[in-house]
Amino acid sequence: MVSIFDYFDYQLFLKDHIDSRKKGKTWFSYRYLAAKLSMDHSNLIKIVLGKRHASGKNVIAITKVLKFNPKEAEYFKTLVEFNKTKNQAKTKLLFEKLVAIKNISLKKLEPNQYDYYRHWYYTAIYSLLDYYEFTDDYAALAAEINPPITVKQARETIELLEKLLLIRKEKDGRYVQSEKLISTGQRWHSVAIQTFQEETLKLAISSLSNHPKNVRDISTLTMSLGKPEMEAIRELSEQYRKSIIKVISESGPGDSVYQLNMQFFPLTKPAWSLQ
């Protein structure tokens, strides 16, 4: 049986739970569970597929029907709220609450998505090691980063990358990458990644005054569009990102580290959000 504590997505948990129950009992189905929850089975399917969120009444019913103990019930209720909220400050508080309920160290939580994305210079140094021959000169390593970081931060980064098995030390003393590319994927909801993106946006602002135009490309475009065009642009943006990843994955060692940010957000309240 799947454990609720293994999930940060309550809808994925419900899907896996239902699939697991169906394997052991052929009579178990969405319709059967929906009846137990006093819910229309089509509504349950929409919740599981991520097309709709569970209501407060649904949450209470689910915790009872699935026979959650008090700790599991509290985690599930918090998880639903965590997945539903769009407020970043509240997201962070709920994330910490989930961790507290699970009673485990943050170091164990999806390390590639939590620890690795906690500070922008972690990813910068990881990318730098694609071509930079670093042994144990942390002062020189720190000096390679722009904006500058401290020797302590450089040492901390190398220790973390080693712990996450993202880099390894060769027999000749050089540190090299163990993996070529890391991507957060489509369905992430990590507080650390939000913090990382905030940091890189600040770096983009500082680049306007710190870097000459011939080594950067920062452009803006303000437009009027409808929902179909918005969705089309999002798809083009995703294709563009994948194309860049393909170029990088097929390339050899570089000679510098760049940060590419892509932002696409409303400056007015979208009309379709009112529907």
Per-residue pLDDT of the chain in tens (275 residues, 90 and over written 9) = 788 988 888 999 999 999 888 887 778 889 999 999 999 989 999 999 999 999 999 999 999 999 999 999 999 999 999 989 887 678 777 877 887 787 654 444 454 456 677 788 988 898 899 889 999 999 999 999 988 899 999 999 999 898 888 899 999 999 998 865 555 443 344 556 666 777 788 888 888 888 888 888 888 888 788 888 988 998 898 888 888 877 877 777 788 888 888 888 786 767 666 55
Question: In angstroms, rounded to a whole number, what is the distance separating the alpha carbons of residues 13 and 208?
Answer: 44
Residue span(s) of the chain under CATH 1.10.260 come to: 4-103
* Closest-CA residue to 227 (of 194, 258, 272): 272
Contact 196, 118 (CB under 8 A): yes
What is the dotted CATH code of the domain comprising 4-103? 1.10.260
The confidence score (pLDDT) of residue 70 equals: 92
The confidence score (pLDDT) of residue 221 equals: 82
pTM attached to this predicted model: 0.51
The pLDDT tens digits for 179-231 are 655 554 433 445 566 667 777 888 888 888 888 888 888 888 887 888 889 88
Question: In angstroms, rounded to a whole number, what is the distance separating the alpha carbons of residues 230 and 264?
Answer: 9
Question: In angstroms, rounded to a whole number, what is the distance separating the alpha carbons of residues 157 and 171?
Answer: 20
